[in-house]
Structure 1
Amino acid sequence: MAFELPKLPYGLDDLNPIISKNTLEFHHGKHHQAYVNNLNNLVKGTKFENADLQTIIKEADGGIFNNGAQVWNHTFYFEAFSKNPQKEPMGKLAEAIERDFGSFAKFKEAFAKAAATLFGSGWAWLVKDAYGHLEIVQESNAGNPIRNGLTPILTCDVWEHAYYLDYQNRRPDYIEAFWQLVDWKVVEQRF
């Protein structure tokens, strides 16, 4: 089975000025595509040749894991955005955020801190554990919480290629702007 680059659920100009067309062309069209291409080349003739991405995340190591996880991570990241997002969680997710973080504002503050303080490249994640409790985790490089038995709900890509064209070295500014694009309707469906 050959992996393919998923289409974005919005146009290349739709997230501007938060994420520019230029950034999407590089981040999705080049970086994300490179992970897909690399994965397709690496899995040929291996036990992962017909595996799905979650199996690769759980079982693979080295280049197959790195590229497979990055395909999954980027798809998950891009799919959480919308041109006209629902700005806050509602229902059971809103209740869980309040229960586990004290308030939506406190959650955003803790998540932003995790994203801003992750050393080097990687991902900040909102995850659900086996008991339905939410937590924030940091994963370096291609790390994915699925590998630790957690269910991803939301992620923020803090590799420089996610923000450098629009924000240069100002990761905190990118993280602050990130919230303007997150569609909590999508995130609620993952919960």
Structure 2
Amino acid sequence: MSATLMRTVPALRGALRSGVAKPAAALASTSFVRGKATLPDLPYDYGALEPYISGKIMELHHKKHHQTYVTGLNSALETIASGDPVAAAKAAPLLNFHGGGHINHSLFWENLAPASREGGGEPDGALAKSIKEDFGGFDTLRKQVNTALAGIQGSGWAWLVKDKNSGTLSVVTRPNQDPVSGPYVPLLGIDAWEHAYYLQYENRKAEYFDAIWNVINWKTVASRFEKA
């Protein structure tokens, strides 16, 4: 995750948890509100994840969909910081939706890497050991994630998370763009929205859920695991 996002995510998560119950003046004082959310650069070319995820999908997903969340988030933050309680109340759901979309996608891009580089395979080291202890092995983890993805009604995400209290791993789902919260630290997220796969896989979303494992960047997932 970029240094800028690392600084701004805690403030945004606090705002998401508090909603308009937090005074607009306090929200306006956070580093996130003082700045502007920006679209992060991808650490690879749009076509680098082919054939598993097409360049056309990646370009549309990043430049159009993620940019929409960034624009919506900045607009919601400005409205909430304006001091107008009525406008702030209307903006609160947009803060959650667009803010969650920005957080989720910023993590998602770093979850991925070309198969010719770090993408695919299986994790090793401490992360692999924890997966063995909590799931019985990598194959079981993969099946649980894909089952969770298939069970999402409408749009949402499936996440591999680490419990900050117990240190255990589990798989959770979140609807729409709701971010992971509570005691969980997100390690790996897979986007189940249609815009993540439909241009290539059409209604065969199970094929997308299988294919994306070929471009998972376990190096970044392991880094989050170690820092959690």
Q: Normalising by structure 2, report the TM-score.
A: 0.76
- Residue in structure 1 matched with residue 96 of structure 2 by the alignment: 65
Aligned residues: 180
- Residue in structure 2 matched with residue 38 of structure 1 by the alignment: 72
Q: Please, which of 97, 113, 132 is the counterpart of residue 167 of structure 2? A: 132
Q: Any runs of at least 4 consecutive aligned residues in structure 1 with deviations exceeding 4 A, and if so which?
A: none
Q: Is the 8 A contact 2:80 2:92 kept in 1?
A: no
Tell me, in whole angstroms, the C-alpha distance in 1 between the residues paired with 2:191 and 2:111.
12
Asked if 1:118 corresponds to 2:152, the answer is yes
Q: CA deviation at 1:45?
A: 4.3
Q: Which has the higher helix share?
A: 2
The structure having more radius of gyration, on CA atoms, is 2
Tell me, in whole angstroms, the C-alpha distance in 2 between the residues paired with 1:98 and 1:8.
31
Deviations 1:38-77 (A, max 9, x none): 111111142499xxxxxxxxxx940011100100101111
Question: Structure 2 counterpart of 1:98, which letter?
Answer: K
Q: Is the 8 A contact 2:111 2:220 kept in 1?
A: yes
Q: CA deviation at 1:21?
A: 1.1
What percentage of aligned pairs have identical amino acids? 40
Tell me, in whole angstroms, the C-alpha distance in 2 between the residues paired with 1:30 and 1:177.
23
Tell me, in whole angstroms, the C-alpha distance in 1 between the residues paired with 2:92 and 2:132.
36
Tell me, in whole angstroms, the C-alpha distance in 1 between the residues paired with 2:47 and 2:141.
29
Question: Structure 1 counterpart of 2:98, which letter?
Answer: N
- Residue in structure 2 matched with residue 150 of structure 1 by the alignment: 184
Which structure carries more relative contact order (alpha carbon 8 Å, separation 6+)? 1
Asked if 1:85 corresponds to 2:131, the answer is no
Q: CA deviation at 1:149?
A: 2.5
Query: What stretches of structure 2 of length at least 5 have no aligned partner?
Result: 1-34, 84-90
